[in-house]
Amino acid sequence: MKKTLYIPLLAFAAACTSKNENKDNMRTDLTPPVAPIEVKELTTHGHTRIDNYYWMNNREDQRVIDYLNAENEYYQQMTAHTKKFQEELFDEMKSRIQEDDESVPYFRNGYYYITRYEKGKDYPIYSRKKGSLDAKEEIMFDCNLMADGQKYFNLGSVSISEDNKLALFSTDLIGRRQYTLQIKNLETGEILSDKIENTTGGGTWANDNQTFFYTKNDEVTLRSDKIYRHELGSKSAKDVLVFHEKDETFNTFIYKEKSNKYLIIGSGSTVSNEYRFLDANTPKGEFKLFQKRERDLEHSISYYNGDFYIVTNKDGATNFKVMKCSEKATTQENWVDLIPHRKDFFVEDIEIFRNYLVITERNQGLNKLRILSWDKKKDYYLPFNSETYVAYTTTNLEFDTDILRYGYQSMTTPNSTIDFNMTTKESTVLKEQQVLGGKFDKNNYTEERIWATAADGTKIPMSMVYRKGMKKDGENPVLQYAYGSYGYTIDPYFSTSRLSLLDRGFIYVICHIRGGQYMGREWYENGKMLKKMNTFTDFVACSKHLIAQKYTSADHLYAQGGSAGGLLMGVITNLAPELYKGIVSQVPFLDVVTTMLDETIPLTTGEFDEWGNPKNKAYYDYMLSYSPYDNIEAKSYPNILITSGFHDSQVQYWEPTKYVAKMRAMKTDKNYLFLDTNMDAGHGGASGRYEALKEVAKVYAFMLDLEGIKK
């Protein structure tokens, strides 16, 4: 579940066993764990559900730990014959990456900032160089040293004071996304005594270099609800509360807009926003309300030269438009159209420069970058001619430049970072992702976009990639991936690890189902709340199309998704188990009704406008109709692998744990059912890059083994 999207850092494969029992490798001497049954009656709207595993909702219960350890042990023993293959896959995938890699430097306030990796080390090193790339490197944070001795480590964010002397940084040592804020003196290397617990991880400096603002989480629900002001050298207990977001369906945050003039406090829910702004030179002043929140009025704001620029759905602009207003009169009656609403173009974002406005749009699913000069003498799109690709603006922190930095990649084309001169239209490729090992040639692969027809006649696009020479004979193994929630779009990206599947005959497919925004805002609106079933049936329609067109067959089709995409996996497992050889659900949201009824669970209240509030009977009944945990039946299911994180704050560990326990008790087949819980991590899995890659290899080996592919 939950607002934070889970996508594997490296393209995870769906991994499962054969629909038919794989007797060549399956051990028959091992008995899977059996969870104790304790009947719990849950009654809502006069309807009673029986939950035999509700007792698992207790992280402190030793029985829970014992059961998770037993499931992990069972999984390890049942897949022990793939250990060597896992190691080979890990080495193969590792050999393709540039281990001593570094980011393209970006310039801000007199310094070039660089993130780099050293060979053999798991974590990044953050450094900078003053004035020139030839200057001496200053290492700000070596995460390898900071992570030493920790089972999990994440550097959440780094914010540099305007005088370049101090770095506000945050760390998470559990994986539950509860960050500790600290300050480092970049001149002396000293860590100051200021220390703030239980934050969202971000911090924003005022322009006086003595004051910063941060957001705290509610200790129970983890909802970001309070903004505080902190002065250097003071105790956090004396920090001033400057904003409290009391509406439990909203989260709050703070940032400094690009020109550094204003500090912005934002509050957001699924269907509305609200902002307040304050001159960053007067941090003790009062924040001014930009526009009072209204249900179904969504907007984001940017500032430039006396005016605010607003991306909004105001006045029925379903696909959003760009408006502007004076900084002196910001309420919506003062907003005027700059780029009117267009039905076929979805406005996703804007980037402001001194001479240009850059608009990120989407048309027929494809990214468009529109360049518009303020004097209106230039208005054009960057040319992208591929059938399916991803293009996006990246780090553009400077106002006074004509250079736009953007990224480009496709399923066959490694990611490139490009500087584009908006005046001369000249492009400079600063970096193209290297694929080492000497075996990769993009011309050996084909990418295409095809369309399935959903039950209601809607055409559903799919992006796919495979090795040239593929035959449509129904014998190809296919990995079908999707997410389909929160309006988040999964674009057709490049992956070096995915090559290990493609080179072994797999076709990789991304389904752009409703619930995302690939085809515009209505694509999202038609895949949430009381239209959520479209997300699931779209995926099934894509599966049926792939089989009908002989890309694959039910004996070779795998499906994969994580978090809300794990919900998708759970639903399609119940809806159409006969279509899939195997399912992989990663940190999956599976117990929809119980979770959405419990407002003490992290992030639940902010989800009501995504899924609905089951305290309303109409939503209760609708959720109940698809909730994977509630719809498990005594029937045959595909092979299933589920991964989880014990410290997960987005989807509590007990959802996949209860699901597996109930599935074990009810399913009638002898196919694989595995639960692999990382006891030291949260929603995003292992924190180190090599550890994350080992997780990929583990899943790949599992699936390839079931396809009879041994090397």
pLDDT digits (tens, 9 = 90+) for 556-580: 999 999 999 999 999 999 999 999 9
Same domain, yes or no, for 403 and 479? no
The answer as to whether 537 is a domain residue is yes
The lowest-confidence range among 56-60, 163-167, 271-275, 313-317 is: 56-60
Residue 537 pLDDT more than 70? yes
Q: Which of the listed residues 347, 372, 392 is the one where a domain comes to its end?
A: 347
**Among 297, 327, 347, residue at a domain's last position:** 347
Check residues 4 and 621 and name the one with the higher pLDDT: 621
Query: Which residues have a Cβ under 8 Å from the Cβ of 219 and sit 6 or more positions away?
Result: 198
Picking from 435, 453, 482, the residue at the C-terminal end of a domain is 435
Reduced to 3 DSSP states, what percent helix, strand and coil does the chain have, rounded to the nearest 5? 20, 35, 45
Among 345, 429, 351, CA closest to 394: 351
Does one domain contain both 186 and 267?
yes
- Beta bridge mates, 478: 507, 557
- The span from the CA of 110 to the CA of 113, in Å, is 10
Identity at 119, one-letter amino acid code: K
H or E element at residue 621: helix 617-626
371 in the same domain as 520: no
Say whether 299 is catalytic.
no
* Bridge partners, residue 392, by sequence: 407
- Distance of alpha carbon 214 from alpha carbon 195, whole angstroms: 12
Q: Quote the longest CA-to-CA distance of the chain.
A: 76
Place of tokens 């752009």: 512
Q: What are the pLDDT digits (tens) for 340-351?
A: 999 999 999 999
Shared domain check, 489 and 613: yes
> pLDDT value at position 685?
62
Same domain for 317 and 355, yes or no, is no
Catalytic residue among 122, 239, 491, 648: 648
| 3-state secondary structure at position 169 | strand
Nearest to 193 by CA among 202, 201, 184: 184
Residue 30 in any domain: the answer is: no
Sort strands 379-381 and 390-393 into parallel, antiparallel or unpaired.
unpaired
Of 144, 186, 194, 151, whose CA–CA distance to 172 is shortest?
151
pLDDT at 3 over 60: no
Q: Tell me the pLDDT band of 486, cut-offs 50, 70 and 90.
A: very high
What's the rounded mean pLDDT across residues 509-513?
A: 98
pTM over 0.95, yes/no:
no
Active site residue 127: no
pLDDT for res 70: 96
CA distances in angstroms from 362 to 271, 392, 685, 699, listed in the order given? 20, 11, 31, 33
Q: Is residue 289 located within the same domain as residue 339? A: yes
> Partners of 254 in the beta sheet?
265
Please tell me whether residues 496 and 620 are part of one structural domain.
yes
Mean pLDDT of the chain: 92
Residue 10 placed within a domain: no
**Same domain for 605 and 650?**
yes
Residue 22 domain-assigned? no
Domain, as residue range, for 357 = 348-435
Query: What is the mean pLDDT of the segment spanning 623-629?
Result: 97
16 in a domain, yes or no? Answer: no
Q: Other C-beta atoms within 10 Å of 455: how many?
A: 11
Cα 674 to the center of its chain, rounded Å:
24
Q: Do 511 and 534 lie in a common domain? A: yes
Looking at the structure, do residues 261 and 320 belong to the same domain, yes or no?
A: yes
472 and 613 co-located in one domain: yes
Residue 151's CATH number: 2.130.10.120
Catalytic residue among 230, 512, 556, 683: 683
Within a domain: residue 259?
yes
14 in a domain, yes or no? no
State in Å, rounded, how far the first CA of the chain is from the last one. Answer: 35
Residues 6+ apart with CB under 8 A from 510: 462, 463, 464, 481, 482, 490, 491, 492
The catalytic residue among 563, 627, 644, 687 is 563
Q: Which of 537, 535, 581, 574 is nearest to 559 (CA)?
A: 581
SS3 of residue 402 by DSSP = coil
Give the torsion through C-alpha atoms of 197, 201, 205, 211, to 10 deg. -10
C-alpha dist (Å) from residue 411 to 394, 508, 560? 19, 9, 17
Is residue 33 in some structural domain? Answer: no
Residue 47 known to be catalytic: no
Q: What is the mean pLDDT of residues 624-653?
A: 92
| Same domain flag for 531 and 673 | yes
Q: The domain spanning residue 656 has which CATH number?
A: 3.40.50.1820
- Overall number of domains in the chain: 3
Structure confidence at residue 215 (pLDDT): 96
